[in-house]
Amino acid sequence: MFVGYCFARKDLFPQVATRGASQVAMNLALPPLIFSSIVPAFTKHNVSAIGPTFLIAFIYSIFGLLSGLVIREVCYVPRNFWQGIIVACCLGNWGALRT
């Protein structure tokens, strides 16, 4: 990060390149890192908890979807953001994963 900061300050790393580098980091590097940190956590002792975990995640997503529908109908939401409020509620960060 420090080297990137120094390159940007000396104009050796233009704005277009920073956008490209951030896209590469977010789309190519981050998903495998998250996957590689989650997979070793499953052992033969706790693998039976995967089913209930997915069930709870599904219930939380449905709860977010329903709350988004209620918010859209009860509160004022601009017409061009009607689906946006539903997606924002449905994909909320319910767990401890930092997104």
Instruction: Tell me the angle at which helices 82-90 and 50-74 cross, rounded to the nearest 10 degrees.
Output: 150
Query: Helical H runs in 2-49?
Result: 2-9, 15-24, 30-38
Question: Helix (H, G, I), strand (E, B), or coil: what is residue 76?
Answer: coil
The domains of the chain are located at 1-41, 44-99
| Residue 92 · residue 62 · CB < 8 Å | no
What's the pLDDT at 64? 86
| Residue 27 · residue 57 · CB < 8 Å | no
pLDDT in tens, 20-77: 888 888 888 888 888 888 888 888 888 888 889 889 888 888 988 898 899 889 999 8
Q: How many Å apart are CA 21 and CA 23, to the nearest integer?
A: 5
